[in-house]
Chains A and B, each alone.
Chain A
Amino acid sequence: MKKLEEDITQLVKNLQIDEQQAQEIITDLQAGDKLLNSQSEPDPPAELLDQIEITIKTHLSHRPARRVYIWSMRFASAAAIIIIFVTLITLWTGPGSVPVSTPLSSPKLVDIYDDDSALWEVALTQEMDGEEEIDDLVIIEVSLMWDEIEEPLDDLFGKENTYENVT
């Protein structure tokens, strides 16, 4: 009440209302406040407050699931945007150049000759780095007996990779 009186007094002063009119306003406002304060004040029914508490609890307990849903939606839309972007870039730049494998004519030779079994093994590798990259390993087994060789080796391996060159 005191705060309100101060508020009114300050305001009346600021608005430069004459003394008599200011006093009249203050009296009227105070009388009005007194009238309102004298009225009985009904309280909300207890069941209503209980119901609101339940509503609050229910609402808040559903919130995390909703948040997860919103976040997953965000991630999904971000992923979709990235996919669309990459697709557009790919279409714009045209099909990518086909990776050229190491030609057969210039293989990295790992082993070529097994003396005991008279078995030729030519292992051709592309970027072979240990056993993990077994997919990149291409093994060509040539089971040829020394005396069965009919065609020159340079026909089989190319000119640079004749038997003499690789051994």
Chain B
Amino acid sequence: MEHDSLEEIIRLCQQGRPEAFHSLLREFGPKLYRFFLRTSGSVHDAEDLLQDIFVKLLEKIKDYQHQGRFESWLFCVAANMVRDRSRKKQRRGTVVPLHDAVREKGQLINSIEASVPEPIDQLEKSEEYDSLQQALAMLPDSDKEIIMLRHYGGLSFQEIAGHFQIPIGTALTRVHRGLKKLKKIMEKS
């Protein structure tokens, strides 16, 4: 999506044009879905969050002032939503029934299978994805969130520091530490 056309799409969204929102969905939907999937670790949550963010966007887009970093803004909103959901879950003390957990894992593998064209790689890829997911689950939520924001949202360290209200050096340290840890866990497994 061209920079100018993104600005135009945002302007149309602010006027309440559905086709403009559909363009945003096509452009950012898959990336947001992956971000939600990786940070929440649940297919069900990722699907819910993707729906929720677009409903939220319908209201929030009016306040957005385009300064060329829509993606960062969008992913910061996404990160806040993941955090809110996680807090709510912790408060409720969610118990996931065993059959749901099995179903989710099945869905996760199915969605990976759908995106991988070569059948030979299927098992290997799903295991890779699973190991990444397992490795991410071992990271503290804050580190995981920072790494994913940088990876999917393309946020710079400056933007990460601004979003989390931490010094830029801390942002760098947390990304560095998180990625190093992630690599180590994956190598071990």
- Residue from the list B16, B18, B47, B175 in contact with A48, Cβ < 8 A: B47
Once bound together, how far apart are the Cα atoms of A14 and B58, in whole Å? 39
The residue on A at minimum CB distance from B178 is A32
- Residue pair B183, A35 in contact (C-beta under 8 Å): yes
- Residue pair A48, B115 in contact (C-beta under 8 Å): no
- Residue pair B54, A55 in contact (C-beta under 8 Å): yes
Q: A11-B168, A40-B125 are known contacts. Are A55 and B115 too (CB-CB below 8 A)?
A: no
- Residue pair B30, A52 in contact (C-beta under 8 Å): no
- Residue pair B29, A52 in contact (C-beta under 8 Å): yes
**Which of A36, A44, A60 counts the most chain B CB atoms within 10 A?**
A44
- Residue from the list A35, A43, A63 in contact with B33, Cβ < 8 A: A43
Does B156 touch A at the CB level, under 8 Å?
yes
Once bound together, how far apart are the Cα atoms of A49 and B21, in whole Å? 12
Does B85 touch A at the CB level, under 8 Å?
no
Binds A, one of B65-73, B76-84, B88-96, B106-114: B106-114
Q: A32-B147, A35-B183 are known contacts. Are A53 and B175 too (CB-CB below 8 A)?
A: no
- Residue from the list A8, A28, A39, A52 in contact with B51, Cβ < 8 A: A52
Task: List residues of chain A with CB under 8 Å of any chain B CB.
Answer: 3-4, 7-8, 11-12, 14-15, 25, 28-29, 31-33, 35-36, 38-45, 48-49, 51-53, 55-57, 59-60, 63
Interface size class of B (residues with CB under 8 A): 35 or more
- Residue pair B183, A56 in contact (C-beta under 8 Å): no
Tell me what chain A mostly uses at the interface: helix, strand, loop, or mixed.
helix
- Residue pair A32, B54 in contact (C-beta under 8 Å): no
Task: List residues of chain B with CB under 8 Å of any chain A CB.
Answer: 16-18, 21-22, 25-26, 29-30, 33-34, 37, 46-47, 50-51, 54-55, 58, 108, 111-112, 114-116, 125-126, 128-129, 132, 147, 150-151, 154, 156-157, 168-169, 172, 175-176, 178-180, 182-183, 186
Minimum CB–CB distance from B133 to chain A (whole Å) comes to 9
- Residue pair A29, B168 in contact (C-beta under 8 Å): no
Once bound together, how far apart are the Cα atoms of A122 and B134, in whole Å? 106
Q: A39-B132, A42-B111 are known contacts. Are A11 and B50 too (CB-CB below 8 A)?
A: no
Once bound together, how far apart are the Cα atoms of A48 and B169, in whole Å? 39
- Residue pair A59, B58 in contact (C-beta under 8 Å): yes
- Residue from the list B16, B25, B34 in contact with A49, Cβ < 8 A: B25
Once bound together, how far apart are the Cα atoms of A8 and B175, in whole Å? 11
- Residue pair A32, B183 in contact (C-beta under 8 Å): yes
Q: A25-B176, A38-B128, A40-B129 are in contact. List 13 more A-B contacts (CB 8 A).
A: A8-B172, A25-B172, A29-B176, A41-B115, A42-B33, A42-B37, A42-B108, A42-B115, A44-B47, A51-B51, A53-B18, A56-B54, A60-B21
- Residue from the list A29, A48, A51, A55 in contact with B179, Cβ < 8 A: A29
Chain A residues contacting B37 (CB-CB under 8 Å) are 42
Once bound together, how far apart are the Cα atoms of A42 and B178, in whole Å? 22
Once bound together, how far apart are the Cα atoms of A3 and B158, in whole Å? 13
Closest 10 CB pairs of A and B: A32-B179, A44-B33, A42-B111, A40-B125, A56-B21, A36-B151, A57-B18, A42-B112, A42-B115, A7-B156
A-B contact pairs, 15 of them (CB 8 A): A11-B172, A29-B179, A32-B179, A32-B183, A35-B179, A42-B34, A42-B112, A42-B115, A44-B46, A48-B47, A48-B51, A55-B51, A56-B58, A60-B18, A63-B16
